């Protein structure tokens, strides 16, 4: 592997519209922090960069919904997340934010460099504009009827009811959520980064030169590149963001995907006047820690931007993780289905390492994984308490009891002792090589295996039975146990920084370096250790049950919100009601409309005539089951052509909370054409 002079570690900028949860921690911040701490302990020159991503439409939407400014939204979450990271021991060298002046300057300069080099395509297109509010509408600001399922509250980018992704032009009866008015199409100019131009270069750089990337990352890149890249707009019509720094671009800002990764550069600039050394010297190794939803931005789009700019280095590796679920359900900010970091820190004071341990031991490194409170409890009770805590406690207590806390000298060693001593450096090497290749779960397992070994060594040698009969042997056993303890404080430090600091204080071990680990002479004979204090304590069932209960309440609240019946409609006059001609009819024939999934073509006898009605009920009824059924229809609805078939009328159905349809059927059979009133 190439030897680099320094390392630049970036962690995905969390979006400042909500708090940090365990999914973020397991996916990005814990691995990035472990890796950074490891490099620092090896004496490497390393910077760890992060900050809040503060632009984009979700933030302006949240501000609008809460009746506050976007700045107030980002101020709230920036402070909250910065504090939570710091209390949790995520040791960034800087936690900056993209609303800072230095970021505005950096992002503007970056845009201008590309602009002046002619790297952008300028293109006009028609986009929805709200004339009342005098602004262009982002996709999320437009609502209308979904053409697929008829949901009247579909967004311009997606229908949340049927899950179809949409573009604003697909919506029937679009309306602006800003003013409620009907938007009009208006021409607007934007700048595009021609990603297609960089495709051949990206193919070589990733698919040929970076075969060592994790398979989930490499695979996603390959699939994007195989599909072919398209030019991508770098600007938007919005009033919250970094203004596009060219003439005639008033009211336009940089698209958030363009400005956010530049935030890494700005934060480094803010941190050190030496920032260019970290960003422009090919002897710097840049690593992006991100979640899988960010792979395309960090492996394809940002590198294309950096390549277009020309003076920056590219990432050496992007060790993205998959997603963490919570109690078998997808973590969701909007559904409040998460374990929030700031709440954890309140509910479990002083237990940062327990969560760091659980999330690393169970990290979604190669596939999605699940966090459960029961697993959290069991990792704590049967691993941290029963193995690590138990071992070091016995080593310290026995040394204090037998030798007044002075490290005894090692006498003659037997085969077992020698095996154990040799395993110390072997397990250290294993931990290192797993960390070097971003296998954090395996690295933690290797490091914990040293504690397992120590625990077993004490159980096998039983020094408490020998203290009277063979004091020489006890000296050797306790010396070896203490050397293991000292080694643990080094190789577990990146994972469990709080507990290892505490343990080093207990054994009076000062400054440590990674290279010290593996030594069997870390504590010299005669060295005075302190009293043993518990490193971890058992977590009882009631504590865990309270957390599970909290989640169950969330689940209930979500279900209640979901069950909510639609609000009442405006009053209509009796005259208006009588204008509707609602009648009974019998289904004579029914068949699926070809090439559709939802439509049935029904031939019905409605007393007045025999007619065709096309209805979107195919998902709920087999055509054969309808034949002969008496149903209710609106007979005088204006005829409509659906999939080339003229439909005269509408079948009445009742829709339940899950969107399931039931036919409205007369309780007793009655003549076709009976008026329903
Ligand atoms: Zn839909």
User: What's the confidence (pLDDT) of residue 571?
Assistant: 84
Between the CA of 143 and the centroid of ligand 1 the distance, in Å, is 12
How far from each other are the two terminal CA atoms of the chain, in whole angstroms? Answer: 82
Buried b (16+ CB within 10 A) or exposed e, 578-601: eeebbbbbbbeebeebeeeebbbb
Distance of CA 588 to the CA centre of its chain: 53
Ligand 1 centroid from CA 618, angstroms? 15
Q: How far is the CA of 169 from the centre of ligand 1 (A)?
A: 14
CA 326 – ligand 1 centroid, Å:
27
Q: What is the pLDDT of residue 488?
A: 98
Q: Which of 435, 478, 431 is nearest to 457 (CA)?
A: 478
Residue 506 C-alpha to ligand 1 middle, in angstroms? 62
How deeply is 609 buried, as exposed, middle or buried, from its count of CB atoms within 10 A (0-12, 13-18, 19+)?
exposed
Cα 497 to Cα 90: distance, rounded to the nearest angstrom? 10
Residue 386 has what DSSP assignment? I
* Ligand 1 mean position, distance from CA 658 (Å): 13
C-alpha–C-alpha distance, residues 591 and 409, integer Å: 90
Tell me how crowded residue 675 is: count the other CB atoms within 10 A of its CB. 11
In three-state form (DSSP H/G/I as H, E/B as E, the rest C), the secondary structure along 247-289 is CCCCCEEECHHHHHHHHHHHHHHHHCCCHHHHHHCCCEEEEEE
CA of 15 to the centre of ligand 1 (A): 27
Q: Would the pTM count as exceeding 0.85?
A: no
DSSP state letters, 11-69 = E-PPBTTS--BHHHIIIIIHHHHHHHHHHHHTT-EEEEEEEEB--SHHHHHHHHHHTS-
CA 45 – ligand 1 centroid, Å: 52
DSSP 371: E
H helix intervals, 252-403? 256-271, 275-280, 295-296, 302-309, 341-347, 352-361, 373-379, 390-403
Gap from CA of 561 to ligand 1 centroid (Å): 19
Rounded to whole angstroms, how far apart are CA atoms 278 and 46? 9
- Classify burial at 236, counting beta carbons within 10 Å of its beta carbon; exposed 0-12, middle 13-18, buried 19 or more: buried
| Span from the CA of 662 to the centroid of ligand 1 (angstroms) | 19
- Rg (the chain; Cα; Å): 32
**How many angstroms separate the alpha carbon of residue 552 from the centre of ligand 1?**
29
Residue 272: per-residue pLDDT? 98
Q: Which residues contact 50 (CB under 8 A, 6 or more apart)?
A: 10, 11, 12, 13, 14, 29, 32, 85, 90, 92, 94, 95, 96, 267
Distance 157 CA to ligand 1 centre (A): 11
Residue 173 host element (H or E): strand 172-176
Tell me the C-alpha distance between 98 and 349, whole Å: 31
Give the bridge partners for 150, in sequence order.
none
Helices 256-271 and 101-116: crossing angle, nearest 10°?
Answer: 120
217-250 per-position pLDDT tens digit: 999 999 999 999 999 999 999 889 999 999 989 8
- In sequence order, the 6+-apart residues with CB closer than 8 A to the CB of 155 are 139, 140, 142, 143, 166
User: Residue written as tokens 């939570």?
Assistant: 84
In order of 123, 299, 340, 437, the CA distances from 294 in angstroms are 26, 9, 21, 20
State what percent of residues in the chain have pLDDT above 70.
99
Give the pLDDT confidence score for residue 564 in this predicted structure.
Answer: 61
Residues of the chain with pLDDT under 70: 1, 562-567, 657-658
């Amino acid at each position: 592997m190439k030897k680099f002079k320094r390392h630049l570690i970036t962690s995905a900028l969390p979006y400042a519209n909500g708090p940090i949860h365990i999914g973020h921690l397991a996916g990005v911040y814990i691995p990035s922090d472990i890796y950074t701490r490891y490099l620092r302990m090896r004496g490497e020159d390393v910077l760890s960069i992060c900050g809040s991503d503060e632009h984009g439409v979700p933030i302006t939407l949240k501000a609008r919904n809460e009746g506050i400014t976007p700045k107030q939204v980002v101020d709230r979450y920036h402070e909250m997340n910065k504090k939570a990271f710091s209390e949790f021991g995520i040791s960034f060298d800087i936690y900056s934010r993209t609303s800072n002046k230095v970021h505005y300057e950096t992002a503007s300069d970056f845009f201008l460099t590309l602009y002046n080099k002619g790297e952008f395509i300028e293109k006009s297109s028609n986009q929805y504009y709200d004339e009342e509010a005098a602004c262009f509408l982002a996709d999320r600001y437009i609502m209308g009827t979904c053409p697929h399922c008829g949901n009247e509250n579909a967004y311009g980018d997606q229908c949340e009811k049927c899950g179809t992704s949409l573009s604003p032009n697909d919506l029937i009866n679009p309306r602006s959520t800003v003013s409620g008015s009907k938007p009009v199409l208006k021409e607007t100019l934007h700048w595009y980064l021609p990603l297609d131009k960089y495709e051949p270069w990206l193919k070589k750089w990733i698919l040929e030169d970076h075969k060592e990337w994790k398979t989930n990352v490499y695979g996603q890149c390959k699939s994007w590149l195989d599909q072919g890249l398209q030019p991508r707009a770098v600007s938007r019509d919005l009033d919250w963001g970094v203004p596009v720094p060219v003439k005639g671009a008033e009211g336009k800002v940089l698209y958030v995907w363009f400005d956010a990764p530049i935030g890494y550069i700005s934060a480094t600039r803010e941190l050190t006047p030496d920032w260019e050394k970290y960003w422009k010297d090919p002897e710097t190794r840049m690593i992006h820690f991100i979640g899988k939803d960010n792979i395309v931005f960090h492996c394809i789009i940002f590198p294309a931007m950096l390549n277009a700019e020309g003076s920056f280095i590219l990432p050496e590796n992007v060790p993205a993780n998959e997603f963490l679920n919570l109690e078998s359900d997808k973590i969701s900010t909007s559904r409040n289905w998460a374990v929030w970091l700031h709440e954890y820190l309140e509910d479990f004071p002083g237990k940062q390492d327990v969560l760091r341990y659980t999330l690393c031991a169970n990290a979604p490194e190669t596939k999605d994984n699940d966090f459960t409170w029961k697993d959290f409890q069991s990792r704590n009770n049967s691993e941290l308490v029963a193995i690590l805590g138990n071992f070091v406690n016995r080593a310290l207590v026995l040394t204090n009891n037998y030798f007044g806390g002075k490290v005894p000298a090692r006498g003659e060693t037997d085969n077992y002792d020698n095996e154990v001593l040799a395993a110390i450096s072997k397990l250290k090497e294993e931990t290192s090589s797993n960390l070097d290749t971003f296998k954090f779960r395996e690295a933690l397992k290797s490091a914990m295996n040293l504690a397992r070994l120590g625990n077993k060594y004490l159980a096998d040698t039983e020094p408490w039975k020998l203290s009277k009969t063979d004091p020489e042997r006890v000296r050797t056993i306790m010396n070896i146990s203490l050397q293991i303890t000292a080694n643990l404080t080094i190789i577990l430090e990146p994972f469990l920084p709080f507990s290892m600091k505490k343990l080093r204080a207990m054994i009076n071990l000062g400054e440590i370096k990674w290279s010290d680990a593996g030594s069997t002479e870390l504590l010299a004979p005669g060295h005075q250790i302190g009293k043993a204090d518990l490193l971890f304590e058992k977590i009882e069932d009631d504590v865990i049950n309270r957390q599970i209960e909290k989640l169950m309440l969330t689940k209930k609240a979500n279900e209640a919100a979901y069950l909510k019946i639609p609000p009442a409609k405006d009053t209509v006059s009796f005259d208006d009601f009588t204008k509707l001609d609602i009648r009974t009819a019998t289904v004579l024939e029914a068949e699926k409309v070809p090439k559709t999934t939802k439509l049935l073509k029904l031939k019905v006898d409605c007393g007045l005539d025999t007619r065709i009605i096309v209805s979107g009920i195919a998902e709920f009824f087999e055509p054969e089951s309808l034949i002969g059924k008496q149903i209710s229809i609106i007979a005088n609805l204006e005829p409509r052509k659906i999939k080339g078939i003229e439909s005269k009328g509408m079948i009445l159905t009742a829709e339940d909370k899950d969107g399931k349809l039931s036919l409205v059927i007369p309780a007793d059979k009655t003549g076709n054409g009976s008026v329903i009133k």
